[in-house]
Amino acid sequence: MITIDDYRRVAPPGAIDMLLRLAERVRGRRLLHVSGGRFGGGPAEILHTLVPMTADLGVDAAWEITGGDPGFYTTAAGLRAALEGAERVLTDEALDHYVEMNRVSAKKLSLEADLVLVHDVQPLTLVEHRGEAGRWIWGCHFDASRAQRRAWGVLRPYVNRYDAAIFSLPKFGRRLAIPRYVIAPSIDPLSEKNRDLTSREVTTLVRALGVAQDKPMLLQVAPFTPAEDPLGVVNVYRLVRKHYNVRLVLAGTGDPERESRETLAELREAARHDPDIAVLELPPDAHLQINALQRAATIVLQKSVHEAFGLGAAEAMWKGKPVVGGFAGGLTQQIVYDVTGYTVHSVEGAAFRLRHLLNNPELIARMGAAGREHVRRSFLVTRHLTDYMALLIHLTG
């Protein structure tokens, strides 16, 4: 079992002692996380690490999830998409049912705590059932700045019943009657996705995926959706390929949405005509394989045109890789331009930066090292937990 002390070898000097001192001030207090599920990406992925770490610090940490019938999940997903700016039809009946399902969950769950941190949309309306004691925070893990008016109009009154909200970046938030704190997400350096691997493990895992390591590898790990622009990445590769003998690996999870299926079909067609393009559709729990691919890569791309925070960049930088990313979402915060990689606005721009790096291999090593240190300071779970401890102290005295 991993303990808080295990993080001493990866966290910045002094960070763990700082955490222990912070925890002394809130020892015994109860911090409850509530999310829409225990699996998948988003907050669930990091809560698997954060909750045991918090408990290890002596804080009474718990994690509850809400649920419902298929209609509830459909409406919650629709609301989430609408808050992210997509057009969705949301009927009054469906919205009433969503609120009702959370009322049922509230009756089943123990929601008493000094600080209740409710993550994302699915459990959002639980706040209706808050008691007198404790402070309630809504954690929004996506970009809600372009939310559809109707969806925001439905949820804003609920959000304003919280004591505060947390957004990953200031630009992701909307005007609210409550304070908006800014806490960036994080990666767990000791998880399967990010822990150190030996070169033999990397070779074995990458070979098992059918990818040869016989030439420089350009890698993008992202869902096969238009927002991540995997087709643009293929065009980037084609421009680079004119000058360098490289391999492109696109790894991601499939998505039942029509646009994603079409994108994946186009990628497969491109790969059929070029043996140096590999399209890997991986299951959601292929953490070790992604880890190995990122370590085997020469340069990592995250050429999103729309992005939430996009922690794939931090994951790659933690493995010492320079990242060429789109000028979108949290990528501009993670990628320090010309220091840990480049943010770009176009296919041509991405190809130019890749060629520049491939032509200057010493830059690849230097940027990779700078990226790892940048992540160590800013995007590890130890910093995330420090922020949560500070929030607990600030809000509960």
Partner 1 sequence: MTAAAPRPFTFIGCVELRQALDHRARDERELLDRLEDVPPDSVFYHTHGYFLRHRPITTAYGNDFAAWVAVHVRDQVLAERLAVINPFETASLEDLREELMSVVYDHLLRMSSVPRVEFGEVFHFQQSHIVEVPLGPAATTLAEFRAGLSEVDASAIYFHMVEARARLGRRSGDFAEWIRTALALPALAERIERIDAYMTSLERVRARVLTLVDAALEGDAA
Does 11 interact with partner 1 (rule: CB under 8 A)? Answer: no
At 163, list the tokens.
Answer: 């004591």
Does 22 interact with partner 1 (rule: CB under 8 A)? Answer: yes
- When binding is defined by CB under 8 A, the residue of 87, 89, 149, 175 that contacts partner 1 is 175
CA–CA gap between residue 40 and residue 91 (Å, rounded): 27
The residue behind tokens 């929030």 is: 391
Q: In degrees to the nearest 10, what's the CA dihedral of 272, 274, 275, 280?
A: -60
Q: At its nearest, how many Å lie between partner 1 and the CB of residue 344?
A: 11
Nearer to partner 1, 225 or 382 (CB): 382
Does 390 interact with partner 1 (rule: CB under 8 A)? Answer: yes
Nearer to partner 1, 175 or 273 (CB): 175
Asked if residues 167 and 180 have their Cβ atoms less than 8 Å apart, the reply is yes
Q: At its nearest, how many Å lie between partner 1 and the CB of residue 296?
A: 25
Does 272 interact with partner 1 (rule: CB under 8 A)? Answer: no
φ/ψ of residue 59, rounded to 5:
-95, 140
Nearer to partner 1, 14 or 256 (CB): 14
Binding region for partner 1 (CB under 8 A) out of 250-258, 305-313, 314-322, 373-381: 373-381
Q: At its nearest, how many Å lie between partner 1 and the CB of residue 75?
A: 28
Interaction residues for partner 1, span 288-317 (CB under 8 A):
none
Does 336 interact with partner 1 (rule: CB under 8 A)? Answer: yes
Angle subtended by helix axes 361-378 and 347-359, to nearest 10: 110
3-state secondary structure of 124: helix
At 334, list the tokens.
Answer: 């993670």
- When binding is defined by CB under 8 A, the residue of 18, 90, 99, 363 that contacts partner 1 is 18
- The closest of 242, 245, 224 to 298, measured between CA atoms, is 245
Binding region for partner 1 (CB under 8 A) out of 8-16, 55-63, 94-102, 292-300: 8-16
Nearer to partner 1, 16 or 234 (CB): 16
Asked if residues 329 and 310 have their Cβ atoms less than 8 Å apart, the reply is yes
CA–CA gap between residue 49 and residue 58 (Å, rounded): 15
Task: For residue 208, give Cα distances in angstroms to 81, 204, 211.
Answer: 35, 6, 7
3-state secondary structure of 380: strand
At 54, list the tokens.
Answer: 């918090």
H helices present in the chain, as ranges: 15-24, 43-56, 70-83, 92-108, 149-159, 199-208, 230-241, 258-272, 287-296, 312-318, 331-334, 347-359, 361-378, 381-396
Does 178 interact with partner 1 (rule: CB under 8 A)? Answer: no
- When binding is defined by CB under 8 A, the residue of 116, 183, 202, 236 that contacts partner 1 is 183
φ/ψ of residue 147, rounded to 5:
-60, 145
CA–CA gap between residue 294 and residue 205 (Å, rounded): 11
Q: At its nearest, how many Å lie between partner 1 and the CB of residue 175?
A: 5
Does 374 interact with partner 1 (rule: CB under 8 A)? Answer: yes
- When binding is defined by CB under 8 A, the residue of 212, 265, 339, 365 that contacts partner 1 is 339
Does 26 interact with partner 1 (rule: CB under 8 A)? Answer: no
Binding region for partner 1 (CB under 8 A) out of 49-57, 164-172, 189-197, 228-236: 164-172
- When binding is defined by CB under 8 A, the residue of 332, 341, 364, 379 that contacts partner 1 is 332
- When binding is defined by CB under 8 A, the residue of 163, 288, 387, 396 that contacts partner 1 is 387
- When binding is defined by CB under 8 A, the residue of 327, 330, 354, 382 that contacts partner 1 is 327
Does 181 interact with partner 1 (rule: CB under 8 A)? Answer: yes
- When binding is defined by CB under 8 A, the residue of 345, 348, 361, 397 that contacts partner 1 is 345
For 226, half-sphere exposure in the C-beta direction (CA atoms, 13 angstrom radius) is: 4
Does 224 interact with partner 1 (rule: CB under 8 A)? Answer: no
Nearer to partner 1, 64 or 229 (CB): 229
Nearer to partner 1, 248 or 316 (CB): 316
Does 386 interact with partner 1 (rule: CB under 8 A)? Answer: yes
The residue behind tokens 């998948």 is: 40
3-state secondary structure of 138: strand
Q: Which residues bind partner 1 (CB under 8 A)?
A: 13-15, 17-18, 21-22, 25, 167, 170-171, 173, 175, 179-183, 327, 332, 336-337, 339-340, 345, 370, 373-374, 377, 386-387, 389-391, 393-394
